[in-house]
Amino acid sequence: MIAASRCPACGRVAAPPRDRCQGCRARTDDETLDPEGTVLTYTSGAEGWIALVELAGGARTWVQAPSEPTIGERLSVDA
Amino acid sequence: MVAIRGSGLTSLGREPDPSSLVRAAVDRALSDAGLDVDAIDALVVANAAGEAFTSIGNVSVWTATEAGLAGTPAIRVDTGPSSGLAAVSTARGWLGAPGIDNVLVLGWEAMTSVPTEEATEILAGLMAADEREAGLSLPRLVACLTRAYLDRHDRSLAELDRVAHKAHRLAEANPIAQFGEVTLDEIAASRVVADPLRLMHCAPLTDGAAALVVADEGPVEIASMGAASDHLAYTQRRTPPERFQATQDAAEACFASTETERSDVDVVELHDAFVSLEAINLEDLGFVPDGEGLDHVAEPEADALGPSPAVNPSGGLKARGHPVGATGLAQTVECVDQCLDRAANPVADAGTALVHSIGGFGNNVHVALLEARP
Ligand SMILES: [Zn+2]
């Protein structure tokens, strides 16, 4: 599992966690998330590929991928 | 009424001496307005990164001095690549203050005096630090947006090539443009910058300057403006990855405060720093349904200006050139020229034009609606 935060006011989930919600400024609660998410889009990086991955609750993060991903594929933040 | 009394633009391309750029733009705008420099009561300077590209400091006062306006109140506006249009918004607010009847809005950027790698690094300063550290660049972020768009709407890379081809074809007829015609083969064979984007899908580094005199009377009215920002990082956004929410919000704000409707607009000059943005922006601005922008802008057979509204008849940022801090003003000058029937690629009977400018990755978007006065 990976560390994240959830906003009790608007429900926004962020990973890595934030003290204050970036949607509404409320104080957030700690949350843990499955490290596997869905590839929203990707491009080529300096080495390999870099994918924008959506985790549970809508949190988005960048994941380095050694081979070309596909949109909709499941990819793990730990990979 | 807030109006554009005169306008002027330098040639765009390689002229990295900021002094000559500034003087040329000022001379052209004042001459067009029929005014002497003494008539200018205030100066708004649009410049995104003068310190980094040229080592000029105190950009507002430096520019005022070069323009022959030492002693005149001067403000520098920096919203990145939308600085030019943000400066128009600032001038609009300043106009009408005691003693402020004519405001000169002057944008300049001299980008080619540093190596390309250094210029890319300077422009990456527009991004969130953690995304830079994750290996992203502005072209890589736009490549991600573009891939999401092509995938969502089942469009092809070859259609983007045709948008680039059209932009260069229009620029060929525009004497101030940085580039002329290129072939579809040259576009398709250019090197990959950030997959799927190739070099010929991207706007160049450009030196250039543009200026307007904003006053309460003039041949082209600034009928309405709108602006919006967004989260700095792409990962902080929760909107669809192929959309720019800030463009949607800025356009809504602009049209909410005027009787004019989108169907009244004859010409759009939008922020095509990458060719995919020509389609995506047209959709986010609300002119065509999502997924149909390429039908509008991907090189119509007979007439490169395409269906109404005509999009980027100047050749756009892509082929006319993209001097970042001056770009919003270069776009505005093109729209003024269209409204006054003196543009290089004239759109028939154009009287209403929309300018759209982005200040970063889908951020700090400014929109202006211009209307010729009868
Ligand atoms: Zn919240």
CATH number at residue A63: 2.40.50
- Report residue B197 as tokens: 């984007």
B153 C-alpha to center of ligand 1: Å? 31
- Report residue B303 as tokens: 């007439």
Gap from B114 CA to chain A (nearest CA, Å): 22
**Domains in chain A, number:** 1
Tell me if A41 and B242 make a contact (CB, 8 A cut-off). yes
Q: What is the pLDDT of residue B300?
A: 65
Residue-number span of the structural domain to which A56 is assigned: 2-76
Query: How far apart are the two ends of chain A, measured CA to CA in Å?
Result: 13
Gap from B198 CA to chain A (nearest CA, Å): 12
Kindly report the pTM of this predicted structure. Answer: 0.97
CA dist B251 and B340 (Å) reads 24
Local structure of residue B235 (DSSP, 8 states): G
CA dist B137 and B125 (Å) reads 9
Q: CA of B232: how far to CAs of A39, B188, B363, in Å?
A: 20, 32, 7
Residues forming beta bridges with residue B7, ordered by sequence position: B212
A6 C-alpha to center of ligand 1: Å? 8
B235 and A CB contact within 8 Å:
yes
- Could you give the angle at the alpha carbon of B148 between the alpha carbons of B305 and B278, nearest 5°? 15
Residue ranges, chain A, pLDDT below 50: 79
A contacts of B151 (beta carbons < 8 Å): 41, 71
CA dist B9 and B5 (Å) reads 14
Q: At what angle do helices B276-284 and B138-153 cross, to 10 degrees?
A: 70
Local structure of residue B236 (DSSP, 8 states): G
Query: How far apart are the two ends of chain B, measured CA to CA in Å?
Result: 14
A77 and B CB contact within 8 Å:
no
B248 C-beta neighbours (distance < 10 Å), count:
17
Does B3-114+206-214 carry CATH code 3.40.47.10? yes
A13 C-alpha to center of ligand 1: Å? 8
Listed in sequence order, the DSSP H helices in B200-265 are: 245-256
Contact indicator for A35, B104 with CB cutoff of 8 Å: no
The pLDDT tens digits along chain B (374 residues) read: 999 999 999 999 999 899 999 999 999 999 999 999 999 999 999 999 999 999 999 999 999 999 999 999 999 999 999 999 999 999 999 999 999 999 999 999 999 999 999 999 999 999 999 999 999 999 999 999 999 999 999 999 999 999 999 999 999 999 999 999 999 999 999 999 999 999 999 999 999 999 999 999 999 999 999 999 999 999 999 999 999 999 999 999 999 999 999 999 999 999 999 999 999 999 999 999 999 999 999 876 667 788 899 999 999 999 999 999 999 999 999 999 999 999 999 999 999 999 999 999 999 999 999 999 98
Gap from A20 CA to chain B (nearest CA, Å): 13
Q: Comparing C-alpha atoms, which of B193, B188, B280 is closest to residue B241?
A: B280
Residues forming beta bridges with residue A30, ordered by sequence position: A5
Q: What is the pLDDT of residue A79?
A: 45
Q: What is the pLDDT of residue B302?
A: 60
A70 and B CB contact within 8 Å:
no
Inter-chain Cβ pairs, chain A and chain B, closer than 8 A: 56
CA dist A13 and A29 (Å) reads 10
B155 and A CB contact within 8 Å:
no
Indicate the helix (H) or strand (E) that contains B63. helix B59-66
Tell me if B151 and A71 make a contact (CB, 8 A cut-off). yes
